[in-house]
Structure 1
Amino acid sequence: MLNALKHNVNVLESVATSSFTAWRGCLVVKAAEQPEKPIILYDMEGCPYCRRVREALTALNLDVEIRPCPKGGRIYRAEAEAIGGKQLFPLLVDENTGQVIYESEDIVEYLFRQYGGRPVPGYYKARVWQPVFGSLGSVASEMRGLRAAPGKRPDQGLHLWSFEGSPFSRLVREKLCELEIPYTLHNLGKEHWTEIGPAKQRIKPGKYQPLPGGKRDDFFRQHGRVQVPYLEDPNTGTSMFESARILKYLEEQYGG
């Protein structure tokens, strides 16, 4: 009972985080073609600057390999420093173009130009007030996803279907970051205004039908619904929906 109450409180905190960041990272601006080699992001889930990059990745519906680098982390921080010369995050590595980029504003500009073929949309441009509201968003979520926690490292990275503005998905990403578990972030942004709202009560009444040919359509054909977060763990053959179940699984399987 107490665990369920705490989870519901955390969901409300995550809703506040999305609200402070103006719900960016929910709708797809332009679905980009996935590059041949995976884009890699050295990332801290609770960092407001890293969040801006993940928002842009959702806007482009691009998948990315997440290398969690929480404060006190012992796995990927040294690797990031060896690549870029310093432990500063976010750090984007794109082996398709040979680009290694720090600074969220530069990364967002690069992603929209390289994969969207367009300038950064006004909604995603850097504003002077964003660091303040971004920091408030992190505070609203109790700074989860910033510091490393004891845990066990899986042999293979996990797979998470998510989109940045999803309050439920954020809770799972926070836990993955704290445990330093690498994962492929499969962005499943909303492709049309009729998809706005939670999976069980979207703004458009009636039977849900995703836009044909998109990533959501493909997911729907495989699973019979479109709901995030959705986790697959190739180490155990486990797959599941629902943030509370996923968090319990991660703690039992990989927690310290």
Structure 2
Amino acid sequence: MAMASALSLSQFPVSGYICFPKRRAPSRSFCIRVMSETSSSTSSSVTIAPPPNFKPPEPKRFAIRPDKIGEVLGAALPLLFRFATGIFVSGYSFSVVSKDEIPPDQYALDLNGITIKETSKLGPRPEKYIEIYEFESCPFCRKVREIVGILDLDVVFYPCPRNGPNFRPKVLQMGGKQQFPYMVDPNTGVSMYESDAIIRYLVDKYGDGNVPLSLSLGFLTTLTAGLGMLSRIGKGTTYTPAKSPPKPLKLWGYEVSPFCKIVREVLVELELPHLLVSCARGSPKRHILYQKTGHFQVPFLEDPNTGIEMFESAEIIEYLRATYALQ
């Protein structure tokens, strides 16, 4: 029964193909791409603005707002079923050091006065952002999001919720069928379906060529990815009518974080394209966020359409719905 429930999360066949375009499309910034793809559903008269008198909340590390406790606990279930796959960046290592060894502008993990320095060994970095079309409640898509975190890749996600008017039709136009995930790498001109093929491609191109064991178990990998989503079944699946942003939002986070997951569910439901800045444990981008804000905590949202930057998952969700959902 559990197996059937997990697999029912996928609304698409598992077969697919790889498409290698003969000619690379002209290079475009991702901001322009979003405008061209979403302009059909957004009136030029629609104004995108934060709620009146909106003020971003102060970050509260590891605090859960009482009304979100159930959601966060449910979103943490994949940690158990997926053995925390994606919590560490490739080549992760740590060492206990003196606090004096850490420069003041660098992030370090502090555990009850013990300072832990985290490092990683990353592969080649793509020059342009990889693009992935997917949706939150799909176990095949989760597998790809996990490898994105392990490889510490920054990816533009184009959400494809059921009945979404923009990006599901776009995938059909580009690849010939509405099957997810679908990846486009503008650095090589490669596009492809099939989660396992995408994982293999990303590991070969931007990693060390080795697929992590927890992502190489075939049906068992997909099954555990599906089982981990049972507590959030239906979330991040169906389109909620929303304004289309002229520019993609930017979300700092990583797949394993339950706080990031509940924010991603809303981004998908509202069909809001977003650049995910991956920052799992060991990511050097933790230092960048620390330098930018004086604090490391995820999720952290940057909305270039309104100028809002904010921490705190519960308030981010409220902000997204108030700013983009059509009443």
- Please report how far the alpha carbon of residue 119 of structure 1 lies from its aligned counterpart in structure 2 after TM superposition: 2.0
Q: In the aligned structure 2, how far is the partner of 1:239 from the partner of 1:118?
A: 36
Q: In the aligned structure 1, how far is the partner of 2:189 from the partner of 2:135?
A: 22
Q: In the aligned structure 1, how far is the partner of 2:315 from the partner of 2:279?
A: 20
Task: Specify the alignment match of 1:147 in structure 2.
Answer: 238
1:10-35 CA distance string (max 9 Å, x none):
00100113322221111001433431
Task: Specify the alignment match of 2:83 in structure 1.
Answer: 22
| Structure 1 counterpart of 2:180, from 89, 102, 105 | 89
The 5-angstrom pairing of residues 229-248 of structure 1 reads 229-248=299-318
Counterpart check, 1:187 vs 2:257: no
Task: Specify the alignment match of 2:319 in structure 1.
Answer: 249
Give yes or no for contact 1:45–1:146 (8 Å, CA) kept in 2: yes
Counterpart check, 1:66 vs 2:157: yes
- Please report how far the alpha carbon of residue 221 of structure 1 lies from its aligned counterpart in structure 2 after TM superposition: 1.4
Counterpart check, 1:12 vs 2:82: no
- Please report how far the alpha carbon of residue 37 of structure 1 lies from its aligned counterpart in structure 2 after TM superposition: 1.6
Give yes or no for contact 1:153–1:254 (8 Å, CA) kept in 2: yes
Amino acid at match of 1:22: F
Amino acid at match of 1:228: V
Q: Is the partner of 1:152 in helix, strand or coil?
A: coil
| Structure 2 counterpart of 1:226, from 291, 296, 308 | 296
Aligned pairs, number: 233
Pick closer, same or farther for the CA change 1:137–1:123 going to 2, 3 Å. Answer: closer
Task: Specify the alignment match of 1:199 in structure 2.
Answer: none
Q: In the aligned structure 1, how far is the partner of 2:180 from the partner of 2:318?
A: 28
The 5-angstrom pairing of residues 10-159 of structure 1 reads 10-29=71-90, 30-159=121-250
Q: Is the partner of 2:275 in helix, strand or coil?
A: strand
Give yes or no for contact 1:32–1:62 (8 Å, CA) kept in 2: no
Q: In the aligned structure 2, how far is the partner of 1:248 from the partner of 1:31?
A: 35
**Structure 1 regions of 5+ residues with no counterpart?**
192-210
- Please report how far the alpha carbon of residue 5 of structure 1 lies from its aligned counterpart in structure 2 after TM superposition: 4.2
Q: In the aligned structure 2, how far is the partner of 1:249 from the partner of 1:177?
A: 15
- Please report how far the alpha carbon of residue 128 of structure 1 lies from its aligned counterpart in structure 2 after TM superposition: 2.8
**Structure 2 regions of 5+ residues with no counterpart?**
1-64, 91-120
- How large is the Cα RMSD of the aligned pairs? 1.6
Q: Is the partner of 1:77 in helix, strand or coil?
A: helix
Q: In the aligned structure 2, how far is the partner of 1:33 from the partner of 1:189?
A: 17
Q: In the aligned structure 1, how far is the partner of 2:78 from the partner of 2:215?
A: 16
Which has the greater radius of gyration?
A: 2
Q: Is the partner of 1:129 in helix, strand or coil?
A: helix
Task: Specify the alignment match of 2:104 in structure 1.
Answer: none
Q: In the aligned structure 1, how far is the partner of 2:250 from the partner of 2:311?
A: 12
TM-score, with normalisation over the residues of structure 2? 0.68
Q: Is the partner of 1:41 in helix, strand or coil?
A: strand
Q: In the aligned structure 2, how far is the partner of 1:126 from the partner of 1:107?
A: 15
- Please report how far the alpha carbon of residue 233 of structure 1 lies from its aligned counterpart in structure 2 after TM superposition: 0.2
Q: In the aligned structure 2, how far is the partner of 1:32 from the partner of 1:141?
A: 33
Task: Specify the alignment match of 2:93 in structure 1.
Answer: none
Amino acid at match of 1:249: Y
Task: Specify the alignment match of 1:196 in structure 2.
Answer: none
TM-score, with normalisation over the residues of structure 1? 0.87
Task: Specify the alignment match of 1:201 in structure 2.
Answer: none
Give yes or no for contact 2:149–2:254 (8 Å, CA) kept in 1: yes
- Please report how far the alpha carbon of residue 167 of structure 1 lies from its aligned counterpart in structure 2 after TM superposition: 0.4
Q: Is the partner of 2:228 in helix, strand or coil?
A: helix
Give yes or no for contact 2:171–2:177 (8 Å, CA) kept in 1: yes
Could you list the runs of 4 or more consecutive aligned residues of structure 1 that deviate by over 3 angstroms after TM superposition?
none
Give yes or no for contact 1:158–1:232 (8 Å, CA) kept in 2: yes
Which has the higher mean CA deviation after the structures are superposed, 144-153 or 125-134?
125-134
Amino acid at match of 2:228: G
